[in-house]
C-alpha cells in the first residue's frame, strides 16, 4: 500500500494547528500536563483513539496515561534487555577477536530498530482498542504493518524523525540567537533557555507526532475514517 506522505504531513500540521491556534489556555494546560506526565500520555491516547482532543475528564486521562506509560516502558525494557544481551555478548566475543562480534552488534541494531518500529504501532493499537493487552499482541501489530507495507512504514518514520530533527535545530538556533542578542554566554543560560523553549513547544511536537503515527496506522486499513480536530 502506498502512503501519501504529503497528506500525512499536511494533515498532522493542520491538526496540531487546529488544536493549539488561538487557545493559550489549552496550550498552558498541556504544558502543565507534561509536568504531571501521566496526563499528557493520556492526551496522546485521546489523539490516537480519535476522540475529540480536549482535556476534559482528568481522571480518565490520568488512567489512560498510566496505561500508555506501561506500554512505553515495557518496550523500552525489552530494547534494553536485547541491547545488554547482544551488545554484551558482542563485547565478550570481541575480546576473543572473533568476527562474530560484528555480526552480533549488527543483529542487535536491527532488532532494536524493529522493536522500536513495532512499539510505535503497538501504542496506536492499544489506544484504538482500549485494551492494554492489545499493545502486546505482536502478531496483530505486525499484520497491521504488513498492510501498511514495511518499506512505506519505515520511510514514514524516517520522514517523521527528519521533521523532528528540524524542530530541534530551529530551537537550538533560537537559543543561540536569543542568548547572543541579550549578550549572554551560551552555556548554563543557553541550556536553561533551551529547556524552557522545549517545554513551551513540546505540546505542538507531541501532538504532531502522535497524529502522524495515527494516520500511518490507519493507512493500513482501507476506508479508515478521518479524525477531525476541533479548535
Q: Which residues contact 105 (CB under 8 A, 6 or more apart)?
A: 86, 87, 90
Residue range of the domain that includes 73 = 5-218
226 occurs within a structural domain:
no
Query: What pLDDT, on the 0 to 100 scale, is given for residue 223?
Result: 40
CA distance 228 to 15: 7
For residues 101 and 90, the answer to whether their CB atoms sit within 8 Å is: yes
**Global pTM?**
0.85
Q: Which residues contact 89 (CB under 8 A, 6 or more apart)?
A: 104
Q: Please give the mean pLDDT across all residues of the chain.
A: 84
Query: What pLDDT, on the 0 to 100 scale, is given for residue 140?
Result: 93
182 occurs within a structural domain:
yes
100 occurs within a structural domain:
yes
57 occurs within a structural domain:
yes
CA distance 43 to 9: 20
17 occurs within a structural domain:
yes
150 occurs within a structural domain:
yes
Neighbours of 156 (CB within 10 A): 22
User: Could you tell me the CA-to-CA distances from 220 to 25, 127, 216 in Å, in that order?
Assistant: 35, 16, 7
Q: What is the pLDDT of residues 94-153, one digit of tens each?
A: 665 567 667 777 888 889 999 999 999 999 999 999 999 999 999 999 999 999 999 999
169 occurs within a structural domain:
yes
Counting the structural domains of the chain, the total is: 1
149 occurs within a structural domain:
yes
> pLDDT averaged over consecutive 10-residue blocks of the chain (231 residues)?
86 92 84 88 93 84 94 93 76 62 78 94 95 94 93 94 90 72 59 78 92 93 44 37
What letters, b where the CB count within 10 A reaches 16 and e where it falls short, cover 10-41? ebbeebbebbbeeeeebbebbeebeeeebbbb
DSSP state string for 59-107: HHHHHHHHHHHHHHHHHHHHHHHHHHHHHHHHHHHHTTT-THHHHHHHH
Q: Determine what percent of the chain falls in helix, strand and coil, rounding each to the nearest 5.
A: 80, 0, 20
Helix crossing, 58-94 with 100-129: angle to 10°? 170
Amino acid at each position: 500500500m502506498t502512503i501519501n506522505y504529503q497528506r500525512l504531513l499536511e494533515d498532522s500540521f493542520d491538526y496540531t494547528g487546529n488544536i493549539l491556534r488561538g487557545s493559550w489556555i489549552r496550550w498552558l494546560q498541556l504544558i502543565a500536563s507534561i509536568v504531571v506526565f501521566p496526563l499528557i500520555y493520556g492526551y496522546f491516547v485521546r489523539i490516537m483513539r480519535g476522540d475529540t482532543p480536549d482535556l476534559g475528564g482528568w481522571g480518565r486521562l490520568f488512567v489512560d496515561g498510566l496505561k500508555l506509560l506501561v506500554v512505553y516502558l515495557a518496550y523500552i525494557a525489552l530494547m534494553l534487555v536485547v541491547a545488554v544481551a547482544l551488545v554484551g555478548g558482542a563485547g565478550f566475543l570481541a575480546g576473543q577477536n572473533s568476527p562474530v562480534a560484528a555480526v552480533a552488534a549488527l543483529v542487535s541494531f536491527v532488532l532494536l530498530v524493529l522493536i522500536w518500529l513495532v512499539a510505535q504501532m503497538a501504542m496506536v493499537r492499544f489506544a484504538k482498542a482500549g485494551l492494554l493487552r492489545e499493545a502486546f499482541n505482536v502478531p496483530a501489530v505486525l499484520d497491521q504493518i504488513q498492510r501498511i507495507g514495511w518499506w512505506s512504514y519505515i520511510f514514514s518514520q524516517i520522514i517523521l524523525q527528519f521533521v523532528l530533527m528540524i524542530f530541534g535545530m530551529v530551537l537550538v538556533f533560537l537559543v543561540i540567537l536569543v542568548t547572543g542578542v541579550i549578550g549572554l554566554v551560551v552555556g548554563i543560560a543557553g541550556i536553561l533557555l533551551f529547556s524552557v523553549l522545549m517545554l513551551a513547544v513540546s505540546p505542538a511536537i507531541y501532538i504532531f507526532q502522535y497524529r502522524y503515527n495515527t494516520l500511518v496506522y490507519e493507512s493500513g486499513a482501507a476506508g479508515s475514517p478521518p479524525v477531525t480536530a476541533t479548535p
